[in-house]
């Protein structure tokens, strides 16, 4: 469950970044971490991509019943 939350957080970061790119042509990850080709930026992009793949599994999981 903690992995789901981390993945969701990374996907949200990626979505916000893509929104900024689309609306303002501003890549926040690149601006903060030293450009698109900087190693740290590439690591962030890779983690966001992996989180997106992880979140695909959320679509196919059975919903757990809430425990009372």
Query: Could you list the pLDDT tens digit for every one of the 68 residues in the chain?
Result: 899 999 999 999 999 999 999 999 999 999 999 999 999 999 999 999 999 999 999 998 877 655 55
Distance of CA 64 to the CA centre of its chain: 24
The pTM is what? 0.83
Token pair listed for 30: 């690149």
Domain assignment of residue 14, yes or no: yes
Domain assignment of residue 66, yes or no: no
Domain assignment of residue 68, yes or no: no
Q: Which domain does 26 fall in, by range?
A: 2-57
Domain assignment of residue 42, yes or no: yes
Domain assignment of residue 34, yes or no: yes
Count structural domains, the chain.
1
């Amino acid at each position: 469950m903690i992995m789901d939350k981390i993945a969701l957080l990374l996907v949200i970061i990626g979505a916000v970044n893509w929104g900024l790119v689309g609306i303002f042509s501003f890549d926040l990850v690149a601006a903060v971490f030293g450009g698109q080709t900087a190693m740290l930026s590439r690591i962030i992009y890779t983690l966001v991509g992996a989180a997106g793949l992880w979140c695909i599994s959320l679509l196919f999981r059975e919903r757990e019943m809430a425990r009372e």
